[in-house]
């Protein structure tokens, strides 16, 4: 307990000191922050893909049968779709309530970067890489997860001795990476300090843009806060799980997610915190977190919907309540298909606007704010991953206990 309190205090102190340091007129602080945060992110991203691969394959090969894996996947998909759909719906409701488009119109032209062609056909194609190494070299998390799943399922079909041998091998590799990841927790206050310096710098440099798009910013951030502080806690409470205890247990992972803006990079800490601090079973955590980090994007759903409506409305496009319903589902599906795309939410929104023949100039005005949005959205995504994993773990434990109680 003392160690947990010390770690939380250290992270909080580092956050405050970092914000204060960002206000000082010393350029070398920002130069050091650029280099150290890059090293910190590189180290996390180095562990991300292999941990996704090994956690899935180690978990699948450790299962008694395919039916056990199907139960896990079905429960995770159910709560992923539910929470992401709610997030998109909240975004739509806030947009109609706040009406941010009335305060921003397409009178300022800012060049926006060309978005890649993102289609669901290319999304499906990316799931199956052309070779094993390509998935890892390109950080294709969908391809990595696919390879791990088919390998794990195939291993389950082998003879018992072969299955045990390979299962032990992948388990050992996975535990080795987790040992490495525990070192990140000890270094986390250093990372938090320098990430806070960069955050303060971003807020200072983009103050004018944030003022001109204040209501839009409030709309996006409010959607994330409502999802994180109201919706998910209500779902947890209904399942008999304390949101405060879970949040306290996952705080190092949530802090890292906020500053690194990457669910995959935060994965080592998410696994560590869930198993050590909240006592989620190793089997459930090792399977649920990697899968959720790929498909569970609550924050992205709200951003895609609000931004599409905001930019469209800025050019005079109007939506009735009935017209907005399909967009809620489109945003939900687009968010789930966002994995593995750099600046995925931004470029997916761009692709939707291009398909509607809406100019992208206003989207360019949003670009300076996106770094901050991405921080909040990633933190929400990891919090949602944690909530879903805790719920699934509790349901599985209860279902396993029922036959015992009956006897």
Question: Fold for domain 2-406?
Answer: 1.10.3860
pTM here is 0.69
pLDDT at 307: 92
Please indicate whether residue 260 or residue 307 has the higher confidence score (pLDDT): 307
Of the ranges 64-73, 153-162, 220-229, 268-277, the best mean pLDDT one: 220-229
Q: For the ranges 9-18, 261-270, 286-295, 304-313, which has the lowest average pLDDT? A: 9-18
pLDDT digits (tens, 9 = 90+) for 74-115: 899 899 999 999 999 999 999 988 888 665 544 443 334 344
SS (H, E, C) 319-360: CCHHHHHHHHHHHHHHHHCCCCCCCHHHHHHHHHHHHCCCCC
d(CA 16, CA 6): 15
- Average pLDDT for residues 37-43, to the nearest whole number? 76
For the chain, what are the domain ranges?
Answer: 2-406
Burial (Cβ within 10 Å: 0-12, 13-18, ≥19) of residue 142 = buried
d(CA 185, CA 272): 9
d(CA 264, CA 290): 8
Is 70 a residue whose pLDDT tops 90?
A: no
pLDDT at 148: 85
d(CA 349, CA 354): 9
Residue in the structure block whose two tokens are 């919907």: 305
CB of 86 closer than 8 Å to CB of 230: no
Is 11 a residue whose pLDDT tops 80?
A: no
d(CA 381, CA 230): 14
CB of 205 closer than 8 Å to CB of 80: no
Confidence of residue 3 (pLDDT cuts 50, 70, 90): very low
Neighbours of 141 (CB within 10 A): 24
Confidence of residue 233 (pLDDT cuts 50, 70, 90): very high
pLDDT digits (tens, 9 = 90+) for 354-380: 667 787 777 766 766 777 788 899 999
CB of 223 closer than 8 Å to CB of 380: no
Is 118 a residue whose pLDDT tops 50?
A: no
pLDDT at 220: 94
Q: For the ranges 67-71, 264-268, 372-376, which has the lowest average pLDDT? A: 67-71
pLDDT at 90: 96
Neighbours of 238 (CB within 10 A): 9
Tokens of 260: 């690194």
Is 137 a residue whose pLDDT tops 70?
A: yes
Is 8 a residue whose pLDDT tops 60?
A: no
Q: For the ranges 273-282, 296-305, 369-378, which has the lowest average pLDDT? A: 369-378
Confidence of residue 17 (pLDDT cuts 50, 70, 90): confident
Neighbours of 283 (CB within 10 A): 17
d(CA 115, CA 376): 22
């Amino acid at each position: 307990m003392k160690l947990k309190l010390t770690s939380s205090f250290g992270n909080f102190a580092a956050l405050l000191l970092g914000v204060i340091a960002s206000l000082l007129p010393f350029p070398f602080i920002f130069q050091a922050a650029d280099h150290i945060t890059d090293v910190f992110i590189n180290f996390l991203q180095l562990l991300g893909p292999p941990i996704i691969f090994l956690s899935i394959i180690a978990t699948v090969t450790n299962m008694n049968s395919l039916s056990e894996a199907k139960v896990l996947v079905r429960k995770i998909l159910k709560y992923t779709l539910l929470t992401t759909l709610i997030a998109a719906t909240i975004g739509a409701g806030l947009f109609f309530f706040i009406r941010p488009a009335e305060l921003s119109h397409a009178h300022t032209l800012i060049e926006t970067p060309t978005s890649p062609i993102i289609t669901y056909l290319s999304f499906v194609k990316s799931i199956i890489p052309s070779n094993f190494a390509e998935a890892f070299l390109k950080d294709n998390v969908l391809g990595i997860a696919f390879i791990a799943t088919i390998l794990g399922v195939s291993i389950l079909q082998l003879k018992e001795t072969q299955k045990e041998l390979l299962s032990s091998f992948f388990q050992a590799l996975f535990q080795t990476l987790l040992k490495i990841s525990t070192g990140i927790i000890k270094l986390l206050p250093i990372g938090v300090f320098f990430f806070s310096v960069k955050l303060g710098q971003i807020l200072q440099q983009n103050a004018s843009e944030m003022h001109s798009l204040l209501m839009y910013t409030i709309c996006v951030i409010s959607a994330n806060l409502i999802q994180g502080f109201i919706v998910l806690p209500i779902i947890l409470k209904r399942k008999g799980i304390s949101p405060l205890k879970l949040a306290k247990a996952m705080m190092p992972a949530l802090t890292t997610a906020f500053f690194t803006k990457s669910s995959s990079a935060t994965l080592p800490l998410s696994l560590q915190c869930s198993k050590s601090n909240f006592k989620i079973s190793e089997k459930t955590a090792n399977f649920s977190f990697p899968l959720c980090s790929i498909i569970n994007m609550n924050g992205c759903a709200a951003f895609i919907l609000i931004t599409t409506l905001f930019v469209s409305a800025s050019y005079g496009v109007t939506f009735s309540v009935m017209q907005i319903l399909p967009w809620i589902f489109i945003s939900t599906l687009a968010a789930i298909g966002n994995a593995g795309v750099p600046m995925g939410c931004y470029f997916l929104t761009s692709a939707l606007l291009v398909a509607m023949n809406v100019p992208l100039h206003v989207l360019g005005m949003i670009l300076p704010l996106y770094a901050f949005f991405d921080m909040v959205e990633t933190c929400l995504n990891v919090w949602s991953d944690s909530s879903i994993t805790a719920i699934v773990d509790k349901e599985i434990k209860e279902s396993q206990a029922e036959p015992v109680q009956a006897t």
